[in-house]
């Protein structure tokens, strides 16, 4: 309910936005015809990759869509943001990749939504790339784990795979397991630096390991409307990549940065903030871009 105009204040406006985020219509976002598996990748660090992963997942989950986050980064930042235990020895994606545990036994429910699940990463994952080298079909370990019955039984609508900031064997596993790649790009200088190498690797995976893989989505992050540079980068990315780029842009927002330190997504930490609203809008756009086969035509 909107307060009378005479009572309207910035705090009242934020409260209304927060209520809209926390209590959305659970049927307002379309359910994909088939499960969408998205690898969130960029070998450049500090671009908002993990932040985008957990907040897009949380936004979809609060709208009633069952969403799984697989933390494939040894730093475990996605696990932290979802407040899922990832101390050494905790059942994790490391055990799944090495074949010691089925995916379902490493999966935990985030307290932020009954529709939001996470397979955490522990520090043990740091040595996984070396251990995987001698394992048969080492590039397909995650794909095999996702093909198990548990993901079907839970009726997952979305799976997000948060990759480390590198192009090693863990990221290759993520690309082999997915049908879509989502690339966050920050609206800052050197935004496109190294992106050519990432696209080349995606093309190699597509050619040799996963013909179904496509770059379906690019999300612009860390937009600062006070600078001309942000507008220039935004325009350059849109000109280069076209309608693969989401219309929604994620602004620089202190609440987005603070939330993980409290073990929360920004939707839980400050649902009325500009950051939370932007991620809800991006999730809506992502969901609405899904077509009959559960994915949008991509770049590659």
Phi, then psi, of 227 in degrees rounded to 5:
-115, 145
- Please write the tens of the pLDDT for every residue from 96-138: 999 989 999 999 999 999 999 999 999 999 988 899 988 888 9
**For position 143, what pLDDT does the model report?**
95
| DSSP 3-state of 70 | strand
Which of 1-10, 71-80, 177-186, 220-229 is the least confident region?
Answer: 1-10
Q: Running DSSP on this structure, what letter comes out for residue 189?
A: T
Residue among 55, 92, 77, 65 nearest 158 (CA): 65
**For position 15, what pLDDT does the model report?**
52
∠ CA 53-58-62, rounded to 5°? 155
| DSSP 3-state of 180 | strand
Average pLDDT over residues 174-201: 92
How sure is the predictor about 45, in pLDDT bands with cuts at 50, 70 and 90? confident
How sure is the predictor about 296, in pLDDT bands with cuts at 50, 70 and 90? very low
Reply yes or no on whether the pLDDT at 264 is more than 90: yes
Reply yes or no on whether the pLDDT at 87 is more than 50: yes
Q: Distance from CA of residue 209 to its chain's centroid?
A: 22
Place of tokens 């996605």: 78
**For position 3, what pLDDT does the model report?**
55
Residue among 47, 85, 10, 70 nearest 221 (CA): 47
């Amino acid at each position: 309910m909107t307060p009378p105009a005479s009572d309207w204040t910035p705090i009242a406006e934020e409260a209304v936005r927060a209520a809209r985020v926390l209590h959305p219509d659970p049927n307002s976002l379309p359910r994909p015809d088939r499960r969408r598996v998205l690898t969130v990748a960029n070998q450049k660090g500090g671009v908002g990759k993990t932040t985008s992963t957990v907040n897009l997942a949380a936004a979809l989950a609060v709208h009633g869509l069952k969403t799984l986050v697989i933390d494939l980064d040894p730093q475990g930042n996605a696990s932290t943001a979802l407040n899922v235990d990832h101390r050494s020895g905790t059942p994790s994606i490391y055990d799944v990749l090495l074949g010691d545990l089925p995916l379902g036994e490493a999966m935990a429910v985030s307290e932020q939504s009954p529709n939001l699940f996470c397979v955490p990463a522990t520090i043990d994952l740091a040595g996984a790339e070396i251990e995987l080298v001698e394992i048969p079909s080492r590039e397909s370990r995650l794909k095999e784990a996702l093909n198990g019955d548990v993901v079907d039984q839970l009726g997952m609508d979305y799976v997000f795979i948060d990759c480390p900031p590198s192009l090693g064997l863990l990221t290759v596993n993520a690309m082999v397991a997915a049908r879509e790649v989502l690339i966050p790009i920050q609206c800052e200088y050197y935004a496109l630096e190294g992106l050519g190498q990432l696209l080349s690797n995606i093309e190699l995976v597509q050619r040799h390991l996963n013909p179904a893989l496509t770059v379906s989505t690019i999300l612009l992050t860390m937009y600062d409307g006070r600078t001309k540079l942000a507008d220039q980068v935004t325009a350059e990315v849109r000109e280069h990549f076209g309608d693969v780029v989401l219309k929604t842009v994620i602004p620089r927002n202190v609440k987005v940065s603070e939330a993980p330190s409290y073990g929360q997504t920004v939707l839980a930490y400050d649902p009325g903030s500009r950051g939370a609203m932007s991620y809800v809008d991006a999730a809506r756009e992502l969901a609405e871009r899904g077509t009959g086969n559960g994915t949008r035509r991509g770049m590659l």
